[in-house]
Structure 1
Amino acid sequence: MKGWMGKIRTLSLFGFMAIILSGCGRENLTALVPKGYGAEESFKVILISIAVMTLVFIVVMTIYTYVLIRYRQKKGQENMIPKQTEGNKALEVVWTVIPILLLIIIAVPTLTTTYDLASTEGKEDAINVNVTGNQYWWHFEYQGEEIQTSQDMYIPVGEKIYLTMRSGDVIHSFWVPSISGKMDVNPENDNVMYIEAYEEGVYYGKCAELCGESHSLMDFKIVAVSQEEYDQWVTDMQNVDPEATPESTTAQEGQELFANSCLSCHAIGSSPVAVGPNLTNFGERSKIAGVLPYEKEELVEWILDPESKKPGNKMSNAPYLNDGSIGEEEADKIADYLMQLKPSEITTKSAE
């Protein structure tokens, strides 16, 4: 008896910890506090599903408890066979129809929401962004704006943003739980969905499809700003001068090193690139490689040893890592250059 009580206490403790820890996690990386239309509609479906499952659980446990008590074996009835009810058509109809009705209750809002969130009505007049998933980063191309960027997608609050998504390698899944649901990103075809944020803020996203050894590190952000801020960001990004000279000497040297060793894979400005992330607004980001703290030391370590930070990424095969052309001193200068890449400042220098 004591052994069973100990097991029950242990299971209760683990259950309690699971409930408590389920509320832990990164800010704005939850589907339970919707801050966008897609997330809100998905949350309604979640609530309907939970309500149905709770009802089923209560009914089943009530019947189970009643039967357990009412028909338990009593002393002197060891050899008694209870009345059998096989072939009872009424019961068979009831326990067949009820699950069908419950499934319909869940299926109707699920299908309605799915088709609603996949609608492309109004797409032609809205902001359209081509999204490309790569191992292990995301690229965003704003259609008709001549804007290329990676990892951070800027959007205006209260506007539908249509995303046309494709993978550059394996299957990925685009998921920003606070403002939208998931959408698979395939290499063979384009999938379209739209997102809409109700409030300004930074919304974290994840790849929700196992895509390699650094799948869990394939993070990105949606930055929702006011319409005025968004318009200014678009102007700044469109007027970036990739060849603008940095102010500091070390950043200037870093710019030259970057051009010789990194520009074949990365881009600054609107030039498309297929190998590595676009770094136009790198100086405005809050994370390095999507997951690392935005600190110079971290950036230097990333340049020198990307494999230790994000296993399996393509930068681990960069030529400079094999020929030794970039050491700690050179990486430090490149870091100085990258961290001053802010579109508004680059634009200002170009205009002068």
Structure 2
Amino acid sequence: MKSRMGKVKLFLLFGITSLVLAACGKENLTSLDPKGYGAESSFNIMMLSLIIMIGVFLVVIVIYTLALIRFRQKKGQENYIPKQVEGNHKLEVLWTSIPILLVLILAIPTVISVFDLADETDASSSINIDVTGNQYWWNFDYTGEEIQTSQDLYIPVGEKVYLHVKSSDVVHSFWVPTISGKIDANPENTNTMYIEAYEEGVYWGKCAELCGPSHSLMDFKVIAVSPEKYEQWVADMQNADPEEVPAEAVAQEGKELFESKSCIACHAIGSSPNAVGPNLTNYANRTTVAGIKDVTKENLVEWLLDPESIKPGNLMTGNYPELTEDEANSIAEYLLQLDHSEVTPQSIGEW
């Protein structure tokens, strides 16, 4: 008896813990509160499937309950055998037709939605961005704008933005659950989808395909701003001067070290398409270091000194001369001076 009660208590504890943990997370990293066209389409299909499953469950429970009551063994009927219905043609047709019908009800809107989100009819008159997945970061190249960013994708609210998604190494998957569905980033071909945000905000994105030891750390953000702010951001980014010398002496030293320590060989400031690492234009306006840690000077210095301890398997480790703590401090000071635009995640509210 005690053993049974212990199992019941354990089950209740597990159930309560699951409910509590289910409520944890970020409000801008959920598919249950859609704030974009693609996410809304996915949510509607998800709700349709949920309604169908609940309906099937209730029907099965009702039939099961009726069978228990009607066909239960009664006193004096210990040897009674109820009427057998094996091979009943009508029942077989019924329980074959119903699942087929339910699958069609789910499949038709799903297929329509998939083709809708892949429709490129308006691409020529819309914003087009080449999205490249890398281990373990994302690059965004704005077609025709001479703008490249990494980790932070700025888009205007209420407009279709076409994403041409590919990978430079292994298979990744681009996913911003609050405003869009997901799409694979393959090395062999380019997949296209469009996203459209309904309101301003900072929406977290994830790689949804296991791609290596730091797969879970391959985060990025979509910053949706008003069309006016977006135009301002574009102008600011196009006018960013990679040769600009910072005012403070420590940051000036950091700029010199950034060049002499071969950082500039991998990280561009400006629209250079030749960089093999994340573009660092407007770096000071980002909200995270390496996509995962809060932007503080301490976190940035820690990343520069030992990136492997933060993102295992990253391609930055071992590809630049070893830095002293003072050198890393100076470079961090320089990067935190790269403030090229007044349009930032913080400028549009809570992030």
* TM > 0.5 fold call: yes
Matched, 1:335 2:336: no
Taking the aligned partners of 1:128 and 1:281, their CA distance within structure 2 comes to 20
Q: What does 1:147-296 correspond to in 2, within 5 Å?
A: 147-261=147-261, 262-296=263-297
Q: Which residue in 2 is equivalent to 1:308?
A: 309
Offset, 1:23: 2.1
- List gaps (5 residues or longer) in structure 1: 346-352
Describe the superposition over 1:22-80 as per-residue Cα deviations: whole angstroms up to 9, x where unpaired: 22102300001011111111111011000000001111122222223333344554444
Structure 1 length normalisation: TM-score? Answer: 0.93
Alpha carbons of structure 1 residues 85 and 340: separation in structure 2 relative to 1, 3 Å: same
Taking the aligned partners of 1:344 and 1:329, their CA distance within structure 2 comes to 28
Offset, 1:5: 4.6
Q: Which residue in 1 is equivalent to 2:31?
A: 31
Taking the aligned partners of 1:166 and 1:194, their CA distance within structure 2 comes to 14
Offset, 1:4: 3.8
Superposition RMSD on alpha carbons, in Å? 1.5
Q: Which residue in 2 is equivalent to 1:350?
A: none
Taking the aligned partners of 2:240 and 2:266, their CA distance within structure 1 comes to 19
Q: Which amino acid aligns with 1:33?
A: D
Alpha carbons of structure 1 residues 95 and 238: separation in structure 2 relative to 1, 3 Å: same
Q: Which residue in 2 is equivalent to 1:58?
A: 58
Offset, 1:187: 0.4
Offset, 1:174: 0.5
Q: Which residue in 2 is equivalent to 1:69?
A: 69
Taking the aligned partners of 2:25 and 2:98, their CA distance within structure 1 comes to 38
- List gaps (5 residues or longer) in structure 2: 343-351
Taking the aligned partners of 1:14 and 1:61, their CA distance within structure 2 comes to 25
Matched, 1:135 2:135: yes
Partner SS, residue 174 of structure 2: strand
Offset, 1:128: 0.3
Alpha carbons of structure 1 residues 56 and 245: separation in structure 2 relative to 1, 3 Å: same
Taking the aligned partners of 1:82 and 1:30, their CA distance within structure 2 comes to 51
Taking the aligned partners of 1:27 and 1:317, their CA distance within structure 2 comes to 37
Matched, 1:22 2:22: yes
Alpha carbons of structure 1 residues 80 and 273: separation in structure 2 relative to 1, 3 Å: farther
Q: Which residue in 2 is equivalent to 1:115?
A: 115
Taking the aligned partners of 2:139 and 2:213, their CA distance within structure 1 comes to 19
Partner SS, residue 263 of structure 1: helix
Describe the superposition over 1:282-301 as per-residue Cα deviations: whole angstroms up to 9, x where unpaired: 10000011001111000000
Worse-superposed segment, 254-263 or 66-75: 66-75
- Identity, % of aligned positions: 63
Taking the aligned partners of 1:152 and 1:225, their CA distance within structure 2 comes to 12
Aligned length: 341
Q: Which amino acid aligns with 1:279?
A: L
Partner SS, residue 106 of structure 1: helix
Offset, 1:17: 2.6
Taking the aligned partners of 1:64 and 1:2, their CA distance within structure 2 comes to 32
Partner SS, residue 314 of structure 1: coil
Q: Which residue in 1 is equivalent to 2:349?
A: none
Taking the aligned partners of 2:114 and 2:10, their CA distance within structure 1 comes to 40
Q: Which amino acid aligns with 1:168?
A: S
Partner SS, residue 203 of structure 1: strand
State whether residues 282 and 341 of structure 2, in contact with CA within 8 Å, keep that contact through their aligned partners in structure 1.
Answer: no
Alpha carbons of structure 1 residues 105 and 118: separation in structure 2 relative to 1, 3 Å: same
Q: Which residue in 1 is equivalent to 2:101?
A: 101
Taking the aligned partners of 1:77 and 1:306, their CA distance within structure 2 comes to 76
Offset, 1:136: 0.5
Alpha carbons of structure 1 residues 56 and 220: separation in structure 2 relative to 1, 3 Å: same
Taking the aligned partners of 2:304 and 2:105, their CA distance within structure 1 comes to 53
Describe the superposition over 1:139-182 as per-residue Cα deviations: whole angstroms up to 9, x where unpaired: 00000000011000111111100000100100000000110001
Describe the superposition over 1:256-307 as per-residue Cα deviations: whole angstroms up to 9, x where unpaired: 1111221111110000135210000110000011001111000000000001
Taking the aligned partners of 1:297 and 1:318, their CA distance within structure 2 comes to 21
Q: Which residue in 2 is equivalent to 1:317?
A: 318
Taking the aligned partners of 2:114 and 2:11, their CA distance within structure 1 comes to 37
Structure 2 length normalisation: TM-score? Answer: 0.94
Taking the aligned partners of 2:112 and 2:23, their CA distance within structure 1 comes to 29
